[in-house]
Amino acid sequence: MSARILPATAAAIAEAAARLRAGELVAFPTETVYGLGADARNEAAVRRIFAAKGRPADHPVIVHLADAGAAADWARAMPEGARRLAAAFWPGPLTLILPRAAQVSDLVTGGQDSVGLRVPAHPVARELLAAFGGGIAAPSANRFGRISPTTAAHVADDLGDAVALILDGGACPVGIESTIVAFTEDEPTLLRPGGIRGDELARVLGRAPRAPDASAPRASGTLASHYAPRTPGRLILPHALRAEIAQLGGRDERVAVLARTLARPADFTGFWITAPADAASYARDLYANLRALDAANADAIAIEAVPEDDAWLAVGDRLARATRGEDDDRD
């Protein structure tokens, strides 16, 4: 049996909600990436998420909610800064890590004293949450260690029949995962850069959230080799890219290139993608591009490095992880 992909009509969303109520898994689009959803109050259903992804059971999953008002059912406290971020960016690509409410399952929290909450903005996710009427636990709908999916076909490629139903809402408009900010210490901590930029957070909080240190709660998105293609990849500064490609080609290696400012050289024979020049469009296409580079079956992937400013922080973070080889946590 292969995965059923259904266009996200009202009838398909109603079926998806019924399947969630029955304890089954449903993949659905969000504005960031596709999520692999289960009823967050049903432990057997949440367990199925870990089995389908091949993900270790002690990794926490984000609970998706219809609105900020529902956060009180899942978090026992909402500090002032978290309240302000929720008011500014929910619904949207922001996840808040908050002190957990007592009744939240350890499977959802990974046994920690905190819970991750997000109110997504994608219309299909919102309709599904409204139809289901509760919290949906959902990590990205990829196998553990693989690139997050931004289309229904990516989900089917990765998870196949491990998921009852995939709601197809087209390509995800943000394209990289939500920004994660933890409110479990004295100060807000940025656990994962993402769809909301650091300067946007700083504007609302009055100062930038601090970077995580060893005492911060674990988010495996902050560990090294997340989001990695299988082909070995390298990040190369724009001015050095042309020479580097020539050198690899000279060693008879087949090269797959993700360029941004460099034009494809006339004599280049490998696989070439020119990514969009602006950060938002680059992010939207990034995971589909990484999958295409990987599918090119090259000996090496060469990626043109991106600028180091706020607008590119989350993209730079994903590129750094995609080109690092360490074997590590990969959610």
**Smallest gap from residue 206 Cβ to ligand TXA (A):** 23
Rg (CA), the chain: 20
**Smallest gap from residue 49 Cβ to ligand TXA (A):** 9
Residues 6 or more apart whose Cβ sits within 8 Å of residue 5: 152, 153, 156, 166, 168
CB 172 within 8 A of CB 284: yes
Where does this chain touch ligand TXA (CB under 6 A) — which range of 53-61, 200-208, 230-238, 245-253?
53-61
CB 292 within 8 A of CB 233: no
CB 260 within 8 A of CB 282: yes
Instruction: Kindly state whether residue 52 participates in binding ligand TXA, applying the rule CB under 6 A.
Output: no
Instruction: Kindly state whether residue 231 participates in binding Mg ion, applying the rule CB under 5 A.
Output: no
Q: How far is it between the farthest Cα atoms of the chain? A: 63
Between residue 248 and residue 287, which ones bind ligand TXA under the rule CB under 6 A? Answer: none
Instruction: Kindly state whether residue 140 participates in binding Mg ion, applying the rule CB under 5 A.
Output: yes
State how far the Cα of 301 lies from the Cα of 218, in Å rounded to an integer. Answer: 30
Instruction: Kindly state whether residue 331 participates in binding ligand TXA, applying the rule CB under 6 A.
Output: yes
**Smallest gap from residue 32 Cβ to ligand TXA (A):** 3
Interacting residue with ligand TXA among 150, 178, 189, 231 (CB under 6 A): 178
**Smallest gap from residue 4 Cβ to ligand TXA (A):** 19
Where does this chain touch Mg ion (CB under 5 A) — which range of 13-21, 75-83, 132-140, 294-302?
132-140
CB 331 within 8 A of CB 144: yes
Instruction: Kindly state whether residue 115 participates in binding ligand TXA, applying the rule CB under 6 A.
Output: yes
Pick the closer one to ligand TXA by CB: 173 or 316. Answer: 173
**Residues in the chain, overall count:** 331
Q: What is the DSSP letter of 28?
A: E
Residue 111 region, left (φ>0) first, then alpha (ψ -120 to 50), else beta?
left
**Smallest gap from residue 18 Cβ to ligand TXA (A):** 21
Q: Which of ligand TXA, Mg ion, none has residue 112 at its interface (CB below 5 to 8 Å by kind)?
A: ligand TXA
Pick the closer one to Mg ion by CB: 260 or 330. Answer: 330
Alpha helices in 105-189 (DSSP H): 106-109, 123-132, 152-159
State how far the Cα of 275 lies from the Cα of 175, in Å rounded to an integer. Answer: 13
Site residues (vs ligand TXA, CB under 6 A): 30, 32-33, 35, 59-62, 93, 95, 97, 109, 112, 114-116, 118, 138-140, 177-178, 180, 191, 217-221, 331
